[in-house]
Structure 1
Amino acid sequence: MTTALERNLDELGIHGAVAHFNLNAPKLYEAALRLGEGTLALEGPLVVHTAPHTGRSPKDRFIVLDDATKDAVWWGGFNTAIAPDVFDRLYERVTASLRGAELFVQDLYAGTDERYRLPVRFVQEMAYHSLFVRNMFVRPDDAELRSFRPQWTVLNVPSFRADPQRDGVGSGTFILVNFTRKIVLIGGTKYAGENKKAIFGVLNFLLPAQGVMPMHCSANMGKDGDVALFFGLSGTGKTTLSADPERLLIGDDEHGWSDEGVFNFEGGCYAKVIGLNAEAEPAIYATTRRFGTVLENVVLKPDGTPDLNDGSLTENTRSAYPIEFIDNIVPEGRGGHPKNVVFLTADAYGVLPPIARLTREQMMYQFISGFTAKIPGTEQGVVEPQPTFSTCFGAPFMPRHPGEYAALLAKRVEESGAKVWLVNTGWTGGKYGAGRRMSIAHTRALLRAALSGALDDVAFEKEPFFDLEIPTSVPGVPSEVLRPRDTWADQGEYDRTATKLAGMFRNNFKRFADGVAPEVTACMPNHG
């Protein structure tokens, strides 16, 4: 007898497929190994390789332009329009290719808060993808599963490559989001991160209309219940710094901030593991040595153990695991209103201070700017530090105008009374190649001082280039470290480098000026 769940695949236009519904981790391991999708490493993790795609493909992401999106999406940048009929034709071609195929289906929630969670059905060609989303999203209990009715569907078929001329897309890879049909269609890439970021983008579009601020940030909680948020792009220390042994982890990547407080979008973590070691990050390291974890693009040693120092496949090696693999967590994935909001940047120019307190307008300016810097060696052709401005610290997943998100964040900060900090985890004493990386011990001391309230009664002074307020003293941190100019042997070179970086900030922000308040635009650096 055909079940209600199976009938829903027919409603998706998928006929004659062999579908496995809501398999658990052991069953998905069996399927992935049977299908040759991965390797079982010593101690239990499933290791998969995703070449040629070892990261996301933001240039292959499209949003259907229709009545639901034409006036609400900020078109341009990463938000590229595609016509409804183009989506429909490609969708029909993909579903037709699945007749007789073996598929893996997971019914999951995006969001730990029942008031705002999104029921999503993931229909996937690869068993490993099914295990990935089962790790990454919130699993319904048995009662919830019996009554589960998906509002959105993600259909992911890596083996299907589009024909750009025939299908109207840019390459063989495609990530198409249709807000009217409530479908995400993915093909041409095995990289599992596309699943989670696609749904993050959907939530980023839907939740602001409900008054919820969607955020690309980690979150943790002190023993007294005080919540802190950590925004930051890859390489800034977002996962590392939020996994503080003295605090409880709410989540490591994606959250919403509602009238009631903060809630995790996910039920798992997707940690970058290149160079990870047991001494510095024991909790995350332990997840790479256990059954149920998915390791992406990690090289195995001859004895079958993961070599986390080998970046020969990619520097973007990842571990995807359920959040309960970490002991020090908030099990319900929710917390109250934050007392502190931290913007993390890895400034490879060595200009920005290790910590600065932001005004409301500066907060909005820095949030919209979303600055960090690539260092030489991270990408082919990068031979000196290069600025990266990713608005809202997550540009590829933000469908609305950045000013809309910044205003909603400012509203939440004002209502909660949260303090906002800019923390530079990058370079000091000179730019990359001349200076040194900021001491993680100093960064942790700065953060603990900020989060504990130890900086509330400290004097602050302004630096001249970005008008940022810098504390004059912090327990456990040498005072000269707090003033970046004082750490440079050649202070004239510091001034020239700071002027150059300030000019980059000004040029970047020009494209947002029409959508933000004048007082925010006024926070652009005076130099440059």
Structure 2
Amino acid sequence: MWEKFFTDFSFMENPELSDLRQMAKKDEIPNRYGIPVYHSKIKSRSAKFTEYHYEITPDLETLFQEVFQHYQSRKWIKVERNIGQSPENLFRQLYIVPSEYARLAFMMTHNNFDPVGQKDPDIYIAAFPDWPDRRILVFPNLHFTMILGSDYYGESKMAGLRMAMHIMREERGGIGLHAGSKIYRVKNAQGQLTERGALIFGLSGTGKTTISVNSHNLVAPEGVEILQDDINMLTTKGNSYGTEKNFYVKTDSVSSTPELQDACLAEDAILENVYVSPEGEIDFDNMSISTNGRAVINRRRIPNTSDRIDLPQVNFFLFNTRRYDIPPVGKLTGPAQAAAFFMLGESTITSADDPTRVGETTRVVGFDPFIINKPEKSGNRLYEILSNHPIDVYIVNTGKIGGLDGIKITPEVTLKIVENIARGTIKWQYNEDLGYEIPVEVPGLDLSQFDPYKIYGKEEYKNMMEALRNDRRKHLQQFPDLYDQIKESI
């Protein structure tokens, strides 16, 4: 029955961007930049309303029939797009939405690649934004997602990427990762110009985007090449395929990131749930519409981007975390420990998440809320890939040292650390209390103010880390199929 959604409605197929903009004109919020700004009814992803189904029950068949009958007289838009750029790892996506919600088709078309060549769809998404009940039904075996009752673009976008990540793990032997990607061209410790590919992980608020788009003020012949800001597909060969043509960025901090702000106010940007004053001024710092303002931006408007989105070789991972009790950076001991920290997905709750729980530890496997079923399969796959490729993995703390009122690790410090990671110029020493290596020397930085032993005292800090290690081990035990060597690495 579900296939009828893609065949039996009255479709306008693959309209041009300009036509979609015109169809969505009725929803635009006027502004002095003349760019499309939309306010959706639902302002964020509906994680609590997301269901995973591995068979179609009679109840679901009845639901399909009810939805079909309700919408069959409506006009529809069908958008066919590519997730990914390389012919070696494309995902063809078919997306349908009622024509009244042309803005969603507009954003989807702008965000992803043209469907070059003949290819059967890999992924199917049907959006019914004005259905009275909110339900996100994911059918992994069918590669189909049904979005009921949400008009938030991020729900449609991630429906495709979530399914692509699942296909990558289950059918293509790799793993989809919620991470940005870039290439560093820097002089190493021997003074030789070298290229180093990086994947940058982290929950919202941990500096993933800041690191991903930053130039580190490098001067030619040194420099960076920014590839992706959201989802990458890591293969067993140690390379990574990008997914999206453009970027979908959170706008709450773009006013302090000129590279992003300029792109967000360009003529080809699309803004979602961003405040516009009665005078038509766009204010990214005004959160009265939503704390989850978003923008689809042309990635080529960000300095240091190019036409390519794929990473030829991954050399290091950055696991961003925001904690109050660990040094600014640490180097993990090997593939098993890297997979363990991937499974831990550690950070702390910020005021944007829950003001009453600020500072509490939160854990999201792979820093990724989009893994479908058995997350330990992703941890095991990552271990297997890292065991066959020399990829270094680092924990980068962008929080504070000494608690909520402790010493802030500023973005400038973090960016200098990451630059030195790329150069390979940090001197490391194993720390028994943390269980991994920490710096003894970082060129251009004095990290002594961030020394937790000075802040907490040696004995207290040792006890703190022992309690944290026990808590981590307990957490990993909830994944029965996770490889033993991963569990034992903490």
- TM-score normalized by structure 2? 0.89
With over 3 angstroms needed to count, the CA separation of the structure-2 counterparts of 1:321 and 1:88, relative to structure 1, is farther
Structure 1 Cα separation of the partners of residues 131 and 21 of structure 2: 23
- Is residue 26 of structure 1 aligned with residue 18 of structure 2? yes
The aligned residue for residue 345 of structure 2 is 370
Q: Deviations over 1:4-59 (max 9, x none)?
A: xxxx99673543x3x3322233222221123xx331432233212223x3211112
Shift of 1:427: 1.4
- Is residue 137 of structure 1 aligned with residue 112 of structure 2? yes
User: What secondary structure, in the 3-state scheme, does the structure 1 residue paired with 2:271 have?
Assistant: strand
- Is residue 197 of structure 1 aligned with residue 158 of structure 2? yes
Structure 2 Cα separation of the partners of residues 45 and 84 of structure 1: 44
User: What secondary structure, in the 3-state scheme, does the structure 1 residue paired with 2:82 have?
Assistant: strand
The aligned residue for residue 518 of structure 1 is 484
Alignment of 1:43-58 (within 5 A): 43-51=33-41, 53-58=42-47
Shift of 1:472: 0.6
Q: State the Cα RMSD in Å.
A: 2.4
Structure 2 Cα separation of the partners of residues 315 and 494 of structure 1: 36
Structure 2 Cα separation of the partners of residues 131 and 293 of structure 1: 11
What is the aligned length?
469
The aligned residue for residue 178 of structure 2 is 216
Structure 1 Cα separation of the partners of residues 183 and 31 of structure 2: 34
Alignment of 1:175-254 (within 5 A): 175-208=136-169, 209-223=171-185, 224-245=194-215, 246-254=223-231
User: What secondary structure, in the 3-state scheme, does the structure 2 residue paired with 1:361 have?
Assistant: helix
The aligned residue for residue 323 of structure 1 is 299
CA contact (8 A) 1:351 1:485 kept: no
- Is residue 12 of structure 1 aligned with residue 2 of structure 2? no
- Is residue 484 of structure 1 aligned with residue 449 of structure 2? no
Shift of 1:500: 5.5
User: What secondary structure, in the 3-state scheme, does the structure 2 residue paired with 1:106 have?
Assistant: strand
- Is residue 64 of structure 1 aligned with residue 49 of structure 2? no
Shift of 1:119: 0.7
User: What secondary structure, in the 3-state scheme, does the structure 1 residue paired with 2:51 have?
Assistant: strand
- Percent of counterpart pairs with the same letter? 20
CA contact (8 A) 1:262 1:336 kept: yes
With over 3 angstroms needed to count, the CA separation of the structure-2 counterparts of 1:382 and 1:94, relative to structure 1, is same
Structure 2 Cα separation of the partners of residues 459 and 288 of structure 1: 40
Q: Deviations over 1:66-85 (max 9, x none)?
A: 3xxxxxxxxxxxxxxxx533
- TM-score normalized by structure 1? 0.83
Choose from 276, 284, 292 the match for 2:268: 292
- Is residue 385 of structure 1 aligned with residue 359 of structure 2? yes
Alignment of 1:240-319 (within 5 A): 240-245=210-215, 246-258=223-235, 259=237, 261-277=239-255, 280-319=256-295
Structure 2 Cα separation of the partners of residues 175 and 301 of structure 1: 33
Counterpart code for 1:216? H
Structure 2 Cα separation of the partners of residues 253 and 437 of structure 1: 26
Q: Deviations over 1:345-366 (max 9, x none)?
A: 111xx11221100022211110
Q: Deviations over 1:201-259 (max 9, x none)?
A: 21222112322221111000123542111011111111110112231111001011222
The aligned residue for residue 425 of structure 1 is 398
The aligned residue for residue 70 of structure 2 is 97
Structure 2 Cα separation of the partners of residues 42 and 417 of structure 1: 51
With over 3 angstroms needed to count, the CA separation of the structure-2 counterparts of 1:452 and 1:504, relative to structure 1, is same
Counterpart code for 1:109? N
Structure 2 Cα separation of the partners of residues 472 and 343 of structure 1: 20
CA contact (8 A) 1:461 1:472 kept: no
- Is residue 340 of structure 1 aligned with residue 312 of structure 2? no
CA contact (8 A) 2:349 2:362 kept: yes
Choose from 465, 475, 490 the match for 1:508: 475
User: What secondary structure, in the 3-state scheme, does the structure 1 residue paired with 2:435 have?
Assistant: coil
- Is residue 474 of structure 1 aligned with residue 474 of structure 2? no
CA contact (8 A) 2:238 2:389 kept: no
Q: Deviations over 1:172-220 (max 9, x none)?
A: 2111122344321101111111112212221222112322221111000
The aligned residue for residue 353 of structure 1 is 327
- Is residue 442 of structure 1 aligned with residue 413 of structure 2? yes
Shift of 1:483: 2.8
Structure 2 Cα separation of the partners of residues 469 and 86 of structure 1: 54
Shift of 1:325: 3.1
The aligned residue for residue 218 of structure 2 is none
With over 3 angstroms needed to count, the CA separation of the structure-2 counterparts of 1:128 and 1:424, relative to structure 1, is same
User: What secondary structure, in the 3-state scheme, does the structure 2 residue paired with 1:241 have?
Assistant: helix
With over 3 angstroms needed to count, the CA separation of the structure-2 counterparts of 1:446 and 1:254, relative to structure 1, is same
Shift of 1:344: 0.6
Counterpart code for 1:20? M
Structure 1 Cα separation of the partners of residues 355 and 284 of structure 2: 25
Structure 1 Cα separation of the partners of residues 349 and 354 of structure 2: 11
With over 3 angstroms needed to count, the CA separation of the structure-2 counterparts of 1:412 and 1:193, relative to structure 1, is same
User: What secondary structure, in the 3-state scheme, does the structure 1 residue paired with 2:254 have?
Assistant: coil
Counterpart code for 1:182? H
Structure 2 Cα separation of the partners of residues 410 and 440 of structure 1: 30
Structure 1 Cα separation of the partners of residues 3 and 336 of structure 2: 49
Alignment of 1:108-123 (within 5 A): 108-123=81-96
